[in-house]
Amino acid sequence: MQNWRSELNRLLALLFIAGSIGLFLGQVSLTMLIALCCYFLFNIYQLRRFNQWLSRDSSQSNSEPPESIGLWGDIFDGIYRLQKQERRASSYLENIINKAQESSAALEIAVVMINKNNNLDWWNLASEKLLGLKYPKDKNQSVTNLIRDPRFAEYFHNENYTETLVIDGPGESNKILDFQIALFGEHERLMIVRDITQLHRLEVMRKDFVGNVSHELATPITVIKGYLEAILDNMGDLDSRWRKPVEQMCQQSLRMENIVRDLLMLSSLETNTLPKQQDQVNLQQLFSEIESDTRQMFTSKEHNFESHCDIQTIITCKRNELYSAISNLVVNAAKYTPSGGCIKLSAFPTDDVFNIVVEDNGMGIEEHHIPRLTERFYRVDSSRSSETGGTGLGLAIVKHILARHDAKLEIESVYSEGSRFICKLPLERASLSNEENNSIPQPSNNSESPDQSST
Ligand code: ADP
C-alpha cells in the first residue's frame, strides 16, 4: 500500500512539474502528454526487463533481478525473495526424496507403489530382485499382469489387508514371498514384499522334526506301556514294594503316549490341507456321542450334562476333526469341573457366525492366562494338569482344527465360577437337514437357539 502511494505521489509530482513547465511555455496539454508518454515508456521498459529476467535460461536461474527504483524495484525484490524461498523448500523436499529413495534402495524388502488404476508407479531396487520388475518397461503396467498367481489377484482385489499373503515368487526363483498391502491417498496402494524362504524352510523342518520324532517315539512307548500294564496285571508274582513304582511308570507312559498322540495330531493338522470333500455332520448326534464318551471317561465324577441343539443342524466339516475339537473342550470341562458340576453344550447362530459353545461351572481360569491358553504346552497349573493327565496341547489342537474350518475359538472364564469356550464357525458351514428349509434361521436377539432340544 505504502509503495502504491509513493508511486502515485511520484506520478503526481511528474504531472505537476510537466504542468508547471507547460504553464511557463503556454503548452500545458502538450507537456502533460509528453510527461505521460515518458511515464508509459518507462513502465514498458521495466516490463521488458522483467520479462527478460523471468525468461532467463536455467543456467542463470540464480541471477539477481535487474536494479530498479520505486514500485518496480519492490516488485523485482519481492519476486526474487519468493523464488529464493521456493528454491529452498524444493531443495529440502528433493533432499528428503533422495534420502527416502536411497534408504529404500538399501532395503532387503521390496516396496512398490501402485496407483489408483492398479498400475505400478514406483518401486525400489529390491523389487527388481524379488519380483523381477524392470524399469522403465514395467512402469504403468497392471500389477496383476506382472504377478500372475490367482491367489495374489484375489488378495489384491478383496481389499481385506489385515493379514498377509504367502505365495511362491514369480518365475523360477523358488522363493517364498510374504505380501502385505496398505491403502493410502486416493485409493493408492503401498505393497511390501518380504522374502521368507529361509523362515519357511525352518518352519517346514520344525514341523517335519516334530512329526518324525513323535512318530518314532510312538512304537517304543506303546511297547513299554504294554509291558508295564502286563506287569501290573500280574502283580501277584512280584514283590509288593514294586507296586507303586510300576504304577507310576505306567501312569507316566500313558502321559507320554497322550503327548505323542497329540503331537502327531498337531503335526498332521499342520502338514495336510483340509480335503475339499467334507462330511455333513448332524451336530446333535455328535454332541450325544461326545457326551457319552466323556461320561465313560469320568464315571466317578457324575457331571450333569445338558445339550441344546436343533436336531436338524448339519455342519459341513471333517467329522473326525470336529469331533476332536468339541471332545477336547468337553473333556477339559469334565477334567476341570468338580464332581456333580454342570457341563452344557449348545449351538446357535448369531449375527454372522454359527456358535458351538461348551460351558462348565468348574474352577474357571484367571483372566491373565486366557490369551495364552491355546499356545502349545501352556498350562495354567502344571501340577493340576498332570494330575488330570493333561498334555497342554488340547486347546492348541482345537485352535488349529477351527482355523482349518475358517472358524475361531473364543474363551470366557471367571475364576472359581466356570468357563465358556465358543467355537465361531462361518454361517455357511451350518445348515438344517430339512430339505425345504436348508439354511440356518436368522439369529434371534436371545443368544440361544429358538428351537432347542435338550438331552
Ligand atoms: P491340558 O491338556 O493341560 O488340559 P489344554 O491345552 O487342553 O491342556 O488346556 C490348557 C490349560 O487350560 C489347562 O492346563 C487348564 O489349566 C486350562 N483349561 C482348559 N480348559 C479348562 C476348563 N474348562 N476349566 C478350567 N481350566 C481349563
| Cα 148 to ligand 1 centre (Å) | 45
CATH number given to 107-195: 3.30.450.20
- Ligand 1: does its nearest atom lie under 6 Å from the Cβ of 341? no
Instruction: Kindly state the cell numbers that stand for 230.
Output: 502286563
Bridge partners, residue 189, by sequence: 114, 183
User: What is the whole-number distance in angstroms between the Cα of residue 370 and the centre of ligand 1?
Assistant: 10
Is the pLDDT reported for residue 440 higher than 50?
yes
Across 118-135, average pLDDT: 91
The average pLDDT across 239-266 equals: 90
Question: Same topology for domains 199-270 and 274-432, yes or no?
Answer: no
- Residue in 395, 397, 416 to alter for ligand 1 test, most ligand atoms within 8 A of Cβ: 395
Rounded distance from Cα 379 to ligand 1 centre (Å): 7
Query: 415 CA to middle of ligand 1, Å?
Result: 13
Instruction: Give percent of the chain with pLDDT exceeding 70.
Output: 92
Given this structure, which CATH class describes domain 199-270? mainly alpha
Q: Of 410 and 8, which is predicted with more confidence?
A: 410
366 has pLDDT over 70: yes
Mean pLDDT of 156-180: 89
Segment 310-316 shows an average pLDDT of: 92
Quote the radius of gyration of the chain (alpha carbons, Å): 41
* Average pLDDT over the chain, rounded to an integer: 88
pLDDT score, position 350: 92
Range of 227-241, 396-410, 441-455 with top mean pLDDT: 396-410
Ligand 1 center from residue 315 Cα (angstroms): 26
Residues 335-351 have a mean pLDDT of 94
- The sign of the torsion formed by the CA atoms of 9, 12, 17, 18 equals positive
User: Which grid coordinates are listed for 245?
Assistant: 513304582
Could you tell me if the CB of 177 is within 6 A of ligand 1?
no
Highest mean pLDDT among 169-173, 270-274, 365-369: 365-369
Rounded to an integer, the average pLDDT of 167-177 is 85
Q: For residues 113 and 97, give the distance between their C-alpha atoms in angstroms, rounded to a whole number.
A: 14
CB atoms within 10 A of CB 151: 13
Cell 496383476 appears where?
144
pLDDT at 445: 42
User: Would the pLDDT of 89 be above 90?
Assistant: yes
Q: What is the mean pLDDT of residues 287-296?
A: 95
pLDDT at site 384: 64
Q: What is the pLDDT of residue 318?
A: 95
Work out the pLDDT band at 454, boundaries 50, 70, 90: very low
* Residue spans per domain, the chain: 2-101, 107-195, 199-270, 274-432
Query: Does domain 274-432 sit in CATH 3.30.565.10?
Result: yes
Q: How far is the CA of 387 from the centre of ligand 1 (A)?
A: 12
Query: Which atom of ligand 1 is nearest the CA belonging to 360?
Result: 23
Among the atoms of ligand 1, which is closest to the Cα of residue 358?
23
pLDDT of residue 103: 86
- Is the pLDDT at 405 greater than 90? The verdict is yes
Query: Is residue 236 over pLDDT 90?
Result: no
Question: Of 252-256, 276-280, 442-446, where does mean pLDDT reach its minimum?
Answer: 442-446
- Among protein residues, the one whose CA lies closest to atom 14 of ligand 1: 379
| Contact by Cβ (8 Å): 131, 112 | yes
User: Can you tell me the mean pLDDT for 248-255?
Assistant: 91
Q: What is the 3-state secondary structure (H, E, C) of 234-295?
A: CHHHCCHHHHHHHHHHHHHHHHHHHHHHHHHHHHHHHHCCCCCCCEEEEHHHHHHHHHHHHH
